[in-house]
Amino acid sequence: MVLMEIMTRNSMYYFIGIKGTGMASLACMLKDLGNEVSGSDLDKHFFTEDVLRQRSIPILSFDPANIHDGMNVIIGNAFLEDFPEVIAARNNPTCICHRYHEFVGEFLSPYHTIAVAGSHGKTTTTGMAASMLQEVGETGYLIGDGTGHITKTSKYFCLEADEFRRHFLAYHPDYAIITNVDIDHVDYFRDEADYRSAYEQFSCNVKKALIIFGEDSQARMLKLSCPHYWYGLEESDDIQAVNVQENKDGMQFDVLFEKKYFAHFNLPFVGHHLLLNSLAVIGIGILENASADSIEKGLSSFHGTKRRFAVEQKGENIFVDDYAHHPTEVGVTIDTARLRFPERKLVAVFKPHRASRVRYFADDFAKRLKQIKSICVISPALMISRTEQILILHTCRNEYLDLLFCLRMRQEQRCLLKKNRLYFYSCPARIFMVWLNL
């Protein structure tokens, strides 16, 4: 049944796993559109639940009795078919059930959609695109930092498209951006070829054009059948940044589109990755015939996303919170911190995210983290994602708890709080810390 038909007659939505980043955002959007929304999750606090409580959206403990007749049930991707609430919903003939990514794919069909995919940079680039397009027309967004927005008059919609288990194949955007194709989710994808095949499948869903990073060797290996434009700093790129100047206060550069001068941009961003993200978004603006002034104004209004190089100062110390959980992202965050705060000593707190990822990238993590003299690594016992917490809690799958996290470093006690230091937090946590002397 077409979702838009469902929405005209059924406005009672129940989310299984409502505190998930995408799930919480979607729940808020449906509430803002005037629907009745509730859901369930673990009792422990997640940062995503704050916006739910601001809207007085009920958050229940898991219980099959929560499922009532006539509900439109949205199932979080962390929950398998044998989860009790999922069983209750599937067995109720009056309930209409969707997986999260399936629901989103249909929900966005009326909008002019821009999907941002890639191993790294999805969240920030999606936020940038939403800010830029707001200068062109009313724009909604659904971002992986737990934020979402939509109005009844929205024309554009910017979506973070996650490749996890090929879920982004449920989306059929007008435009798409692929920021890179650096293998991840190694517990699912067999190898780099399998990972590339997912992006090739995704590209077939793009209706108008794909914008893709040209300096990524894996991306250049993709077999693309849709119209596409490469972006980057090389002569071979269709959307090229030239005359680039970067410093601790911002960046400026000229943009060539298909070898022809388009415009000069002066943006308040620090970090080479933000230059590349901006360039991809500029490409969307060009294809939508937006003026250079409106593109620059929209981009300049972007103030960041949650957990992506979020800066806070306490006394004489500066704290940077970043969700870097892949060695490439860790390296980018370290480089950006040094560029933005060159006079500061850098101390890092790193929490590994998934056991499978750490096992696969152990040497790469070691290489990146050796750039810092003082680092605190979270205990292996906490190396589980929210999804894995749910699996362990409900199915006793505890094999993740036994993994030893070794980066060929030796332990040493250190004092954390000293003056004039920059603290880089990757997936910050409060307990079970081990100091390592690199």
Q: Which domain holds residue 400?
A: 310-437
Helix or strand holding residue 13 (H, E): strand 12-16
Residues 13 and 71 in one domain: yes
With respect to residue 416, please indicate whether it lies within any of the assigned structural domains.
Answer: yes
Whether residues 117 and 229 share a domain: the answer is: yes
Task: Pick out the chain residues at pLDDT < 70.
Answer: 1-10, 305-308, 353-354, 373-438
What pLDDT, on a 0 to 100 scale, did the predictor assign at position 431? 28
pLDDT of residue 37: 97
We report the CATH number of the domain holding residue 64 as 3.40.50.720
Q: Are residues 210 and 67 in the same domain?
A: no
Amino acid 49: pLDDT: 92
Among candidate residues 402, 387, 401, 325, the one with its CA nearest the CA of residue 361: 325
Q: What is the pLDDT of residue 353?
A: 67
For residue 243, give the amino acid letter.
Answer: N
Single out the residue in 65, 83, 104 at which a domain terminates.
104
In a domain, 134, yes or no: yes
For residue 156, what is the domain's CATH number?
A: 3.40.1190.10
Clarify whether residues 116 and 153 are in a common domain.
yes
Residue 50: the pLDDT is 93
119 lies in the same domain as 242: yes
Compute the distance between CA of residue 225 and CA of residue 368 in angstroms, rounded to an integer. Answer: 36
Final residue before a domain boundary, out of 68, 89, 104: 104
Q: Where are the alpha helices (DSSP H) in 288-431?
A: 292-300, 327-340, 355-369, 386-395
Shared domain check, 42 and 27: yes
With respect to residue 305, please indicate whether it lies within any of the assigned structural domains.
Answer: no
Q: Are residues 132 and 256 in the same domain?
A: yes
Tell me, yes or no, whether 271 lies in a domain. yes
In a domain, 207, yes or no: yes
**Domain-embedded: residue 89:** yes
> CA 20, 336, 235: angle at the middle one, nearest 5?
100
Is residue 91 domain-shared with residue 153, that is, in the same domain? no
Domain boundary among 85, 104, 123: 104
Query: pLDDT (tens digit, 9 = 90+) per residue, 289-325?
Result: 999 999 999 999 998 766 667 778 888 888 888 777 7
| Tally of CB atoms within 10 A around 9 | 8
Residue 359, pLDDT score: 74
Co-location of 151 and 171 in the same domain:
yes
- The residues facing 318 across adjacent strands are 313, 422
Verify that 198 and 227 share a domain, yes or no: yes
Cα Rg of the chain, angstroms: 22
Residue 129 within any structural domain of the chain:
yes
* Residue 377 confidence (pLDDT): 63
Helices within 143-227 (DSSP H only): 192-203, 217-220
- Give the SS3 label for residue 2: coil
pLDDT computed for residue 306 by the predictor: 65
| Number of separate domains in the chain | 3
Do 95 and 133 lie in a common domain?
no
**pLDDT value of residue 436:** 34
pLDDT, tens digit (0-9, with 9 covering 90-100), for 133-144: 999 999 999 987
- Please check whether residues 333 and 410 belong to one and the same domain: yes
d(CA 335, CA 345): 13
CATH of the domain at 420: 3.90.190
